[in-house]
Every structure is written in structure tokens, then in C-alpha cells.
């Protein structure tokens, strides 16, 4: 099962992806998580990406496509994967199509979590508060200023990715405003 989860920051992609990991026994490939790990480890990619991520902007297509191209060939992804946070631009979606064709891999589903933009900042603030309560470190970009930039990046660069898949007739949508369990049930229904 090879899936893409699309949706704005705070849509619940990470939460739902974690559940799909359990169900299908395939890894969640979050470019955000991979980039944060690279920043933490101080790798060349991390050093390049840190400032742009902290400000809420998008890392270059070249960097993230390189990361994904390598990652989907690893052994744990043989039976599939869930892409979370990638592709985020139409150029990434086109690059993904090319790399999958070269690797003779096919996508099974592309699902967009539809959410009301007005609810997103509150969700991000809740995530930050829950992280603090659990004794964790809040993401550097989970603050109102960076969030505004992330939302603009979403509207301008990522929303067209949904249109790209819709125009290919392969986009499915699920209501991401419903309670978490209902979203999971809706995803189950879509995935069959």
C-alpha cells in the first residue's frame, strides 16, 4: 500500500498516518520528521534547512526529493509507505511521478484531509501545549508567526498539489474536521 496524505499544517496528517502505520504495517515517511532529525544531527542538509524551517518556509525541492528517493528504497518500505508532508509543491509531485516510474512503483491512494483554515492555528497551539505537558520540546515552527508563513506556503505552493492529483482523477478527500476516530473510519472506508 503506497499512500500520500495531503492537507495543511495541523490537518491531522501525522495523527492519522500513525494509525495507518499500525493497520498496514508500513512506515510513515514524514519529510518534516526527517528534516528535523537532520537539523538535530547537524548534517549538511540539516544546516541548510534549519533557518528556512524555523521561519515556516519550504526547503528546496531538490533536497526533499533526494531524501524521499533514497528513503522509499529502504527495506522497510518494500511493502509500501505513507508519505506525510511530501509532495508539497507541484514540482515535487512531478518528481515523485518520475521517481516512482523509474523504480516501477505505483501509488495506491492520494488522500486529502480537508479542514477549515480557521481551526488550524488553534490545533497547532494545542499540539504545542500537549508537547509541553508531556515534557517534550515544542517545534520551533509551532508558533503564530511561523505558522502564518506555513499557511501562506500551503496556500500558494501545496494547495496546487491537490489540484494536480485531482486533474489526474486520483484524488480522494476526507473531512479532517471530524473527531479523530471518525477521520480514521473515513480513511478506512476510502482505502477499502
Quote the strand ranges of 81-124, DSSP E.
81-84, 109-114
Q: How many residues bind ligand AMP (CB under 6 A)?
A: 18
Distance CA 74, CA 6 (A): 23
Closer Cβ to ligand AMP, 152 or 189, answer by number: 152
Distance CA 109, CA 20 (A): 13
Quote the least distance from Cβ 140 to ligand AMP, whole Å. Answer: 10
Quote the least distance from Cβ 114 to ligand AMP, whole Å. Answer: 17
Burial class (CB in 10 A: 0-12, 13-18, 19+), 40: exposed
Please provide residue 48's backbone torsions phi and psi, each rounded to the nearest 5 degrees: -70, -35
Nearest to 12 by CA among 109, 141, 115: 115
Q: Which of 53, 95, 111, 120 binds ligand AMP (CB under 6 A)?
A: 53
Q: Which of 4, 17, 64, 110 binds ligand AMP (CB under 6 A)?
A: 64
Asked if 5 interacts with ligand AMP (CB under 6 A), we say no
Stretch that binds ligand AMP, among 40-48, 54-62, 70-78, 95-103 (CB under 6 A): 54-62
Closer Cβ to ligand AMP, 45 or 188, answer by number: 45
Amino acid at each position: 500500500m503506497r499512500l500520500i496524505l495531503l492537507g495543511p499544517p495541523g490537518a491531522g496528517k501525522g495523527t492519522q498516518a500513525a494509525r495507518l502505520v499500525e493497520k498496514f504495517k508500513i512506515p510513515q515517511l514524514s519529510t518534516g520528521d526527517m528534516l528535523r532529525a537532520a537539523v538535530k544531527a547537524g548534517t549538511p542538509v540539516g544546516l541548510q534547512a534549519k533557518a528556512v524551517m524555523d521561519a515556516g518556509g519550504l526547503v528546496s525541492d531538490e533536497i526533499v526529493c533526494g531524501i524521499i528517493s533514497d528513503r522509499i528504497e529502504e527495506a522497510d518500505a518494500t511493502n509500501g509507505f505513507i508519505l506525510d508532508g511530501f509532495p508539497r509543491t507541484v514540482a515535487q509531485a512531478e518528481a515523485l511521478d518520475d521517481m516512482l516510474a523509474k523504480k516501477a512503483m505505483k501509488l495506491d491512494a492520494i488522500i486529502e484531509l480537508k479542514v477549515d483554515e480557521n481551526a488550524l492555528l488553534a490545533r497547532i497551539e494545542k499540539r504545542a501545549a500537549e508537547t509541553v505537558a508531556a515534557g517534550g520540546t515544542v517545534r520551533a515552527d509551532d508558533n503564530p508567526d511561523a505558522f502564518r508563513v506555513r499557511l501562506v506556503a500551503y496556500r500558494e505552493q501545496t494547495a496546487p498539489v491537490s489540484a494536480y492529483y485531482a486533474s489526474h482523477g486520483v484524488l480522494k478527500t476526507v473531512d479532517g474536521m471530524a473527531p479523530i476516530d471518525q477521520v480514521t473510519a473515513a480513511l478506512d472506508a476510502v482505502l477499502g
